Amino acid sequence: MKFINKYIAGFALATLSLSACKKDFLDRQPQTDIGTGNFFNSEQDLKLYLNNLYNFPGFGIYNNDRSTDNAPTTGAVEIKTMMVGNPSASTIVSGWNWEQLRSANFFLENFKKAPLSQDKLNHYEGIARFFRAQFYIDKVKRYSDVPWYDRTMNVNDTELLQKPRDPRAFVVDKIMEDLAFAAEHVDAKGDKGGVNNWVVKAYQAKFALYEGTFRKYHAELNLANTANVYLQLARDVSKDIMDKGGFQLYTTGNVNQDYHNLFLQDDLSRNPEVILARYFQNGVLNSGWSETVFGNYEVSPSKDLLQDYLMKDGSYYTNQSGYTTFPFVKEFENRDPRLSQTYAYPGFNLVNVRTYSQGGGIYVQQLGKNFSGYHQIKGFVNNTSAEVQQNLDIPILRYAEILLTYAEAKAELGELTQADLDISINLLRKRAGMPNMPVSPAIDPVQSMRYPNINSSQRAAVLEIRRERRVEMALEGYRFDDLMRWNAGKLLEKEPEGIYFSGLGKHDLTGDGVPDIILLPNNESIPAVKEKNELGKDFIYYRTGTFGQDAGVFLKNGTSGTVQTIADMGTFQEPKYYYRPVPQNQVQLNPNLKQIFGW
């Protein structure tokens, strides 16, 4: 069934498709028409309508770090296209869609018709206001200043439809009002996969940290004097979740498997770490999986991310002499166990060979043009069973993020203590079998160069918390937002690199001491009859070269060096590229929508 109405002046056609999309929302009464006269008359109506507002991601979270310093991509990602092109309001036209807002506001104007108690009505109002807040969070992240609308409009609302952008500070205040109401009134328990009080508070803390750090590190906003208000909110809400939410990190005591297994479970409903998940069931609502996670298909993890993982004893990997020229096998020796639970490691046994032409068994890193040579196993379904592949639940909000939010907010405020670390960061490290982080760690020069603008009195702690966040949340889609809020967009200019090769000839990639591949210069042909290694297996051959040459893999020096993924990442213009323009066709419809920050 469908509810259709129109926004004029550039607002998108609002189509409300009220089909079920989660296990617990499958049993719904059919409706053929929705209007104020024959809908919103029962609790079932309210639930059915609100179900349409659910838009949480699924398996795609494992591809959302692409085109950051975590993962190069061959795909056409917006920021990548902007940095190498000549973007304008005429070429960047996505994102200005308002149908979700109209749906939320329409509900808020009509839901009180249902004959429910005030507590129940407050609960459903809270959920709708939560989704309105989520809508505007996305808009603020993209445009900063945007028009605020808290009611639906019709063709006669000319003044509202032609209004200018409201200031970011005003819109964020409204967002926080919606989240505060939802945090107070949404029930602590709800349908499986549904929004409950803890989900609301988790997003409240998440956005408070985003906004607090964004204001702190973006002088162009002239809002730095209000940053601490949001950092304090992030601190307080995350601590409330820690104290009262009943969540804890998932662990069985197996430091070499628990982190990896967290992302490959067919029932997250009883997982103590999961605050919100997408629930799937084979044959009812398939979870899906993507070749882009493993194999050479658009995305591959970077060396830069790999080098951020600590050594097993807690020391900095980058403190080792010659670390930039370590071969692949050595890169994984004595490292934070999360590295080998995120990256395909030497000796990894590949079962699901759907995107790997060389077959299953002990994995030999497959090289390819414009790919790093590293492969991701976090979230990769290494199983050939279609039932297993389609039955996995996806963790959307993890308690780990709450611990990271708490620690970062405290450190940015200059309030972090060892006790704070022991109830946050050090729980994450304990799960991974890593040493505790001290409150005043030695500064890693490499990490310090990444983030030279940190102005907290606890700069060393902030640096290490940022490292921990990058490692713990790696390849789950957090990195881009983090770089944006930290005013670290310039890191996107660095060309992502891959595995290092000392030169042509034979190389061991499985860690057994027996070479697996042979690198040839680009002027030689791969032989028709391949040489066999000591194990009796055919060598895998690659012709090397540099960009523009006829080669199977690009190396920095042509016949040696790191694998190269792109010739030029382009330029990140500050502060312009921290924001997007209002699409030009919308400005033509409403000339009061003025461009900002150089657009």
Could you tell me if residue 585 is inside a domain? no
* pLDDT attached to residue 282: 85
pLDDT over 70 percentage in the chain: 93
Same domain for 213 and 279: yes
* pLDDT attached to residue 154: 87
Gap between the Cα atoms of 240 and 451, Å rounded: 30
Same domain for 153 and 273: no
- 22 band by pLDDT with thresholds 50, 70 and 90: very low
Same domain for 262 and 234: yes
Does residue 33 have a pLDDT over 60? no
Does residue 49 have a pLDDT over 60? yes
- 223 band by pLDDT with thresholds 50, 70 and 90: very high
Contacts of 440 (CB under 8 A, 6+ apart): 458, 460, 461
* pLDDT attached to residue 284: 85
Could you tell me if residue 449 is inside a domain? yes
Average pLDDT over residues 345-350: 97
pTM of the model: 0.93
Of 27-36, 56-65, 448-457, 551-560, least confident by mean pLDDT is 27-36
Contacts of 230 (CB under 8 A, 6+ apart): 208, 209, 211, 212, 215
Average pLDDT in the chain:
92
Gap between the Cα atoms of 463 and 471, Å rounded: 13
* pLDDT attached to residue 4: 25
* Residue at which a domain ends, from 494, 515, 547: 494
Same domain for 320 and 201: yes
Same domain for 178 and 201: no
Same domain for 479 and 402: yes
Give per-residue pLDDT as tens, 271-297. Answer: 999 999 999 888 888 887 777 788 778
Q: Which domain holds residue 131?
A: 1-52+97-186
- 36 band by pLDDT with thresholds 50, 70 and 90: low
Q: Which residues pair with 277 in a beta bridge?
A: 395
* pLDDT attached to residue 355: 66
- 26 band by pLDDT with thresholds 50, 70 and 90: very low
Give per-residue pLDDT as tens, 134-143. Answer: 999 999 999 9
- 32 band by pLDDT with thresholds 50, 70 and 90: very low
Could you tell me if residue 567 is inside a domain? no
Does residue 28 have a pLDDT over 70? no
Same domain for 386 and 272: yes
- Rg, C-alpha atoms of the chain: 25
How many domains is the chain built from?
3
Does residue 352 have a pLDDT over 50? yes
Does residue 13 have a pLDDT over 60? no
Could you tell me if residue 331 is inside a domain? yes
- CATH code of 17's domain: 1.25.40.890
Could you tell me if residue 59 is inside a domain? no
* pLDDT attached to residue 287: 82
Could you tell me if residue 584 is inside a domain? no
Same domain for 537 and 463: no
Same domain for 323 and 204: yes
- What is the DSSP annotation of 281-299? BTTTB-----TTTSSSBSB
Q: Which helix (H) or strand (E) holds 398?
A: strand 394-398
With b for 16 or more beta-carbon neighbours within 10 A and e for fewer, the 394-427 pattern comes to: bbbbbbbbbbbbbbbbbbbbeebeeebbeebbbb
* pLDDT attached to residue 386: 87
Same domain for 458 and 380: yes
Three-class DSSP category at 225: helix
Gap between the Cα atoms of 186 and 378, Å rounded: 33
* pLDDT attached to residue 18: 33
Average pLDDT over residues 536-542: 97
Of 58-62, 72-76, 241-245, least confident by mean pLDDT is 58-62
With beta carbons less than 8 A apart as the criterion, state whether 272 and 248 touch. yes
Same domain for 116 and 238: no
List the structure tokens of 412: 């940015």
With beta carbons less than 8 A apart as the criterion, state whether 303 and 497 touch. yes
Could you tell me if residue 577 is inside a domain? no
Average pLDDT over residues 553-558: 98
Does residue 74 have a pLDDT over 90? yes
Does residue 38 have a pLDDT over 60? yes
Three-class DSSP category at 277: strand
- CATH code of 442's domain: 1.25.40.390
Average pLDDT over residues 86-109: 97
* Residue at which a domain ends, from 124, 157, 186: 186
Does residue 30 have a pLDDT over 70? no
Could you tell me if residue 512 is inside a domain? yes
Neighbours of 48 (CB within 10 A): 21
Does residue 231 have a pLDDT over 60? yes
Same domain for 526 and 409: no
Phi, psi for residue 541 in degrees, rounded to 5: -105, 145
